[in-house]
Structure formats: C-alpha cells, structure tokens
Amino acid sequence: MGFVLFFMFAIAAGFIARRIHLPTPTLLGPILVIGGFMVAELPVPHMPGLFIILAQLSLGIYFSFMMNFSSSNSMGKFILWSLFTSLCLLLGCVGLSFLLSRWHDVSFLTAFISMAPGGMAEMALVGQAVNADLSIITGYHLFRILFILFIIPAILKGLFKLSIFQRGHHD
C-alpha cells in the first residue's frame, strides 16, 4: 500500500511542477518530492522487481522508436562518427570514474554509473540491477541535470550579452 501512495505523491509532484513551470517537470517534480522524503528521513518504499523490469523494457522500446533509419545513404559515416564519439565519451567516463573512486570511498562501479552518459532514470535502473549505491548515482545525475537546466542558461545569457556576440560588431 505504501508503494501506491508514494507513486501517487510522485504523480502529483509532476503535475505541480508543470503548473509552476519547472524545466522537465515530470522528472524534477517527483525527484524533488522523493528527495524531500529522504532528506526528512521518512521511509521510502523500494521499487518492486517487476516494475524495474517493466521500466527497463519501456525505456528500450521508447528509444528504439526514436531511431530513424530513413536516410540510409549517409548511415556509414554516421555509424563511424557515433562509434568514435561513444568511445571517446566512455574513455573519459572511465578516467573520471577512476579518479572519483580513488578520491572518495566509492566503488568503481558506482563511480562509473554516476559519470556515465545517459539519463538519470536509465542509470538508476542500471545501478539498481548491479546493486550500486543509488544515492550517489542519482545525486551526480541530478546535479548534472540541474546544472544544465539552471546554470548553463545563465552562463550563455551572460556570454551572449558580450559585444563579440552582438550583431554588427564582428571583425
């Protein structure tokens, strides 16, 4: 029963976040409410195993529908660049994970999933599947999301006010 009530809190938080115009409201609303429960040290029910499997399947199906193979004439170049950038991203992730695991008391697996490119929901599901520390994983991904949503726009807004970005001031 606690899981159903908690699920309702998360849904309501998504609607409230949309109403107050938070960026990505269906993600941030439930995260903030669940985080509030955890900070207040209130009991948070564990996700049933069946729901974790269904969530992983849903994400896989959703991402497969997002792929578009209609322009297959440039697919070879696309695949090569995708492999190259993915390899570079993973090597950078491995390096940062190694540093994080050495500097803090964190397992390499938890550090790797925390630094891995991907959405917070996907990485939390992976972390749950391999018994990694979910609080660290979601903390790092939440920081990244909030940084991108709130800090980067402010930095870009300030940069675009500089004279080198103004129309008519080019050398």
Handedness of CA 53, 57, 63, 66 (dihedral sign): negative
Mean pLDDT of the chain: 83
CB-CB contact of 121 with 145 (8 Å): no
- Residue 112, pLDDT score: 93
Q: Taking 60 as the threshold, does the pLDDT of residue 170 lie above it?
A: no
- Residue 70, pLDDT score: 67
Residues whose CB is less than 8 angstroms from the CB of residue 28 and which lie 6 or more positions away in sequence, other chains included: 17, 22, 145
Q: Taking 90 as the threshold, does the pLDDT of residue 92 lie above it?
A: yes
Distance, CA of 16 to CA of 5 (rounded, Å) = 16
- Residue 72, pLDDT score: 62
Alpha helices (H) along the chain: 2-19, 25-39, 49-66, 75-103, 108-115, 120-129, 134-146, 152-160
pLDDT in tens, 40-90: 888 777 777 787 788 878 877 887 787 776 666 667 777 788 899 989 999
